[in-house]
């Protein structure tokens, strides 16, 4: 996935909004090849097709961006569904027991990916191509903020802008199809969701966000080249892109919002019960019922709540739990006074982690990350922070909603050893197929990042009872997601019920509670992946420690978890079984290990 910020959204938006499957006729057929050869040929061709058609890569050079936006028309969606159906049939013909070495694991990971892609196609999720903070139109803003290294980067960006009118027409047609069958985002969470559309639609050049790359062109670029690029950008943005955003804004305000559904639950969508179960399976990789998840969430919340009460005693506070939460939400000592103060505190925490991380993880990635604020146009509807390869974004909007006592847990999750460590480490893992190095499975990725908050206890990152309470509040927040997500989508809770539950059980600020509930409503099942993923990793660690006894090495265990790339939780369990059987050795200790030097 070339555009890492799209991945952070967690979101598989480009996989949901895909293009025509021109390579469908060239699938490998059974020959005298071994099962492993057939499998590798199959996934290599499909992965190349997936990147060129869904991710904007160049058809002849899949490692380069083409500047094309995908074809997301209904006809292309049908062809893609047919293509992945054929892929799954080909996988059915391959017997995993006949595969060699790592291909047994590759098969399990790859099959899950194809099943998810096909499930989304059959559910026609492309008719609802946005959620509460991520959308096809805001993805273009991330492209505008990207780092441009060459003249070709600028030309590719201009080519992408030229395709915006066609791309928006197709997305609008898809959303109309969704409206017609009751498959839309709920009207109740759409207030203000058009702000980032309006920000582009209503801002003339040269201040327009999409003109950003052309304001400060490289000093060593010839002046005539600079002038030509700026002229081309002014023409395409002024004559094509801004009108496309204006038309989208009109559609959103006059047609989509008025006709959006009035229910909240995913189970109220067409074939809703099956759809919600498919989303649970996609995001958690576990076949659990909503009722079982809800019950688990209630049990975990009770345990965490007792830990929170114990921590309150350590602060010396004499009031009730609710009064303590009110104290945390209103006392100025817990909030930064300026955006720079918040960013500097986050940077200091991340640097403290740098000094300790080598004691807990053996193999560290080469790629470093920076810390930046969430872009102003996204910040009002964005989460408190988000991280990934090369970046940890901290939301400096509405500082009274960004408590400092939660900042250590947030930083561990989003930067190192969380997302900004795990994703680059997977990409640097040599020998694994690209579909394992560059794909993202929420239960694994978010589970690891949440586990990193837990690891912060052992690392000594929570240096006061308030920091400790902030960590526990974050744990409660993720456990509460098991209750709230299933409450909204299965038990038909109201938005206010969900808000009240978070307000009563976590130290989240009111603004964060609002943005979080809207996120859960708009993105069924995704919120379940965090806590279930963390529980799986903690369980794997516990059984590895028990089985290995004195041979257990925490650095080797973390290497074993991180070396897998993004995998379903059942596959991770199997990998830890192998780690235990191998005596607890780090996968990087093996001379034959497929690791970058």
**For residue 72, pLDDT beyond 60:** yes
Q: Quick: pLDDT tens for 79-131.
A: 999 999 999 999 999 999 999 999 999 999 999 999 999 999 999 999 999 99
**pLDDT at 4 (0 to 100):** 36
- 74's tokens: 């209904």
Side by side, the strands of the sheet bearing 370-373 are: 370-373, 391-394, 385-388
> Cβ contacts of residue 366 below 8 Å, gap of 6+?
424, 428, 596
> Cβ contacts of residue 125 below 8 Å, gap of 6+?
16
**pLDDT at 590 (0 to 100):** 60
**For residue 146, pLDDT beyond 80:** yes
DSSP letter (8 states) at residue 288: -
> Cβ contacts of residue 101 below 8 Å, gap of 6+?
36
**pLDDT at 149 (0 to 100):** 87
CA distances from residue 233 to 32, 183, 210, 239 in whole angstroms, order as listed: 54, 36, 9, 10
| Helix, strand, or coil (residue 568) | coil
Q: Quick: pLDDT tens for 205-244.
A: 999 999 999 999 999 999 999 999 999 999 999 999 999 9
What are the φ and ψ backbone dihedral angles of 256, each rounded to 5 degrees? -70, -55
Share of the chain above pLDDT 90, in %: 85
**Distance between CA atoms of 405 and 154, rounded to whole angstroms?**
42
Q: Quick: pLDDT tens for 421-471.
A: 999 999 999 889 999 999 999 999 999 999 999 999 999 999 999 999 999
Q: What sign does the dihedral 269-270-274-279 (CA atoms) show? A: negative
Q: Quick: pLDDT tens for 30-55.
A: 445 799 999 999 999 999 999 888 86
Are 519 and 131 spatial neighbours (Cβ–Cβ below 8 Å)?
Answer: yes
- 330's tokens: 């209103």
CA distances from residue 540 to 95, 482, 537, 569 in whole angstroms, order as listed: 28, 21, 5, 10
How far out from the chain centre does Cα 134 lie?
A: 10
Token look-up 């299933």 returns: 486
**pLDDT at 1 (0 to 100):** 31
* DSSP characters over 234-299: HHHIIIIIHHHHHHHHHHIIIIIHHHSBS---GGGSTTHHHHHHHHHHHHH-S---HHHHHHHHHH
- Residue 590, judged by CB atoms within 10 A of its CB (0-12, 13-18, 19+), counts as exposed
Q: Quick: pLDDT tens for 299-341.
A: 999 999 999 999 999 999 999 999 999 999 999 999 999 999 9
**Distance between CA atoms of 357 and 343, rounded to whole angstroms?**
21
How high is the mean pLDDT of the chain?
A: 91
Closest CA to 69 of 19, 4, 124, 123: 19
**For residue 187, pLDDT beyond 80:** yes
**pLDDT at 589 (0 to 100):** 80
Task: Using pLDDT thresholds of 50, 70 and 90, give the confidence band for residue 509.
Answer: confident
**Distance between CA atoms of 549 and 460, rounded to whole angstroms?**
24
Q: Model's pTM, two decimal places?
A: 0.90
**For residue 246, pLDDT beyond 90:** yes
* DSSP characters over 28-59: ----SS-HHHHHHHHHHHHHHHHHHHHS-B-S
How far out from the chain centre does Cα 64 lie?
A: 23
**pLDDT at 52 (0 to 100):** 82
Instruction: List the end-to-end C-alpha distance of the chain, in Å, as a whole number.
Output: 23
Are 358 and 380 spatial neighbours (Cβ–Cβ below 8 Å)?
Answer: no
- When pLDDT is averaged across residues 191-206 and rounded to a whole number, the result is 94
**pLDDT at 65 (0 to 100):** 52
**pLDDT at 61 (0 to 100):** 43
**For residue 7, pLDDT beyond 70:** no
CA distances from residue 24 to 28, 75, 82, 109, 110 in whole angstroms, order as listed: 10, 14, 8, 21, 17
> Cβ contacts of residue 539 below 8 Å, gap of 6+?
none
Closest CA to 72 of 114, 115, 129: 129
**Distance between CA atoms of 450 and 530, rounded to whole angstroms?**
6
Q: Quick: pLDDT tens for 373-406.
A: 998 888 888 888 999 999 999 999 999 999 999 9
DSSP H helical segments within 93-241, as ranges?
A: 103-123, 136-145, 151-162, 164-180, 195-201, 223-236
What does DSSP say about strands 370-373 and 385-388: parallel, antiparallel, or unpaired?
unpaired
């Amino acid at each position: 996935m070339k555009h890492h910020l799209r991945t952070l959204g967690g979101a598989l938006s480009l996989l949901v909004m895909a293009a025509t499957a021109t390579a469908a006729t060239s699938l490998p057929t059974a020959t005298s090849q071994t099962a492993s050869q057939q499998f590798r040929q199959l996934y290599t061709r499909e992965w190349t097709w997936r990147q060129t058609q869904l991710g904007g890569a160049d058809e002849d050079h899949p490692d380069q961006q083409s500047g094309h936006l995908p074809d997301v028309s209904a006809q292309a969606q049908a062809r893609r569904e047919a293509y992945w159906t054929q892929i799954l049939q080909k996988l059915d013909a391959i017997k995993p027991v006949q595969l060699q070495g790592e291909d047994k694991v590759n098969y399990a990971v790859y099959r899950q990916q194809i099943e998810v892609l096909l499930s989304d196609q059959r559910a026609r999720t492309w008719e609802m191509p946005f959620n509460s903070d991520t959308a096809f139109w805001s993805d273009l803003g991330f492209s505008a903020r990207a780092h441009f290294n060459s003249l070709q980067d600028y030309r590719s960006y201009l080519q992408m802008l030229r395709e915006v009118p066609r791309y928006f027409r197709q997305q609008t047609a898809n959303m109309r199809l969704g409206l017609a069958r009751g498959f839309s985002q709920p009207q109740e969470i759409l207030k203000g969701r058009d702000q980032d559309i309006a920000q582009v639609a209503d801002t003339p050049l040269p201040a327009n966000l999409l003109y950003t790359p052309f304001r400060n062109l490289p000093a060593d670029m010839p002046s005539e080249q600079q002038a030509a690029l700026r002229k081309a950008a002014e023409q395409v943005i002024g004559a094509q892109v801004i009108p496309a955003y204006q038309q989208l804004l009109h559609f959103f305000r006059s047609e989509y919002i008025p006709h959006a559904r009035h229910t909240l639950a995913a189970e109220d969508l067409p074939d809703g019960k099956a759809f919600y179960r498919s989303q649970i399976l996609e995001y958690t990789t576990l076949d659990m019922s909503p009722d079982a998840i809800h019950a688990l969430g209630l049990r975990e919340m009770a345990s965490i709540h007792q830990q929170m009460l114990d921590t309150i005693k350590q602060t010396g506070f004499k009031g009730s739990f609710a009064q303590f939460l009110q104290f945390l939400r209103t006392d100025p000592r817990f909030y930064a006074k300026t955006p720079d103060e918040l960013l500097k505190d986050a940077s200091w925490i991340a640097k403290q982690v740098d000094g300790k991380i080598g004691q807990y993880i053996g193999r560290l990635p080469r790629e470093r990350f920076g810390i930046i604020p969430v872009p102003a146009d996204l910040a009002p509807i964005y989460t408190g922070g988000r991280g990934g390869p090369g970046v940890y974004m901290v939301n400096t909007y509405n500082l009274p909603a960004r408590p400092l006592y939660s900042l250590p847990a947030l930083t561990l999750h989003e930067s190192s050893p969380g997302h900004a460590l795990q994703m680059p480490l997977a990409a640097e893992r040599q020998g694994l197929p690209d579909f394992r190095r560059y794909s993202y499975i929420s239960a694994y990725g978010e589970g690891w990042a949440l586990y990193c908050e837990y690891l912060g206890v052992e690392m000594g990152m929570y240096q006061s009872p308030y920091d400790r309470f902030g960590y526990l509040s974050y744990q409660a927040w993720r456990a509460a997601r098991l209750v709230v997500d299933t409450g909204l989508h299965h038990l038909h809770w109201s938005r206010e019920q969900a808000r009240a539950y978070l307000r009563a059980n976590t130290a989240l600020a009111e603004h964060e509670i609002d943005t979080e509930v809207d996120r859960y409503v708009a993105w069924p099942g995704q919120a379940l992946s965090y806590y279930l993923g963390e529980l799986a990793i903690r369980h794997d660690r516990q059984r590895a420690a028990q089985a290995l006894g004195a041979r257990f090495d925490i650095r080797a265990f973390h290497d074993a978890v991180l070396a897998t790339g993004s995998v379903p939780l059942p596959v991770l369990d199997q990998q830890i079984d192998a780690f235990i059987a191998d005596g607890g050795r780090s996968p990087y200790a093996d001379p034959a290990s497929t690791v970058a030097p």
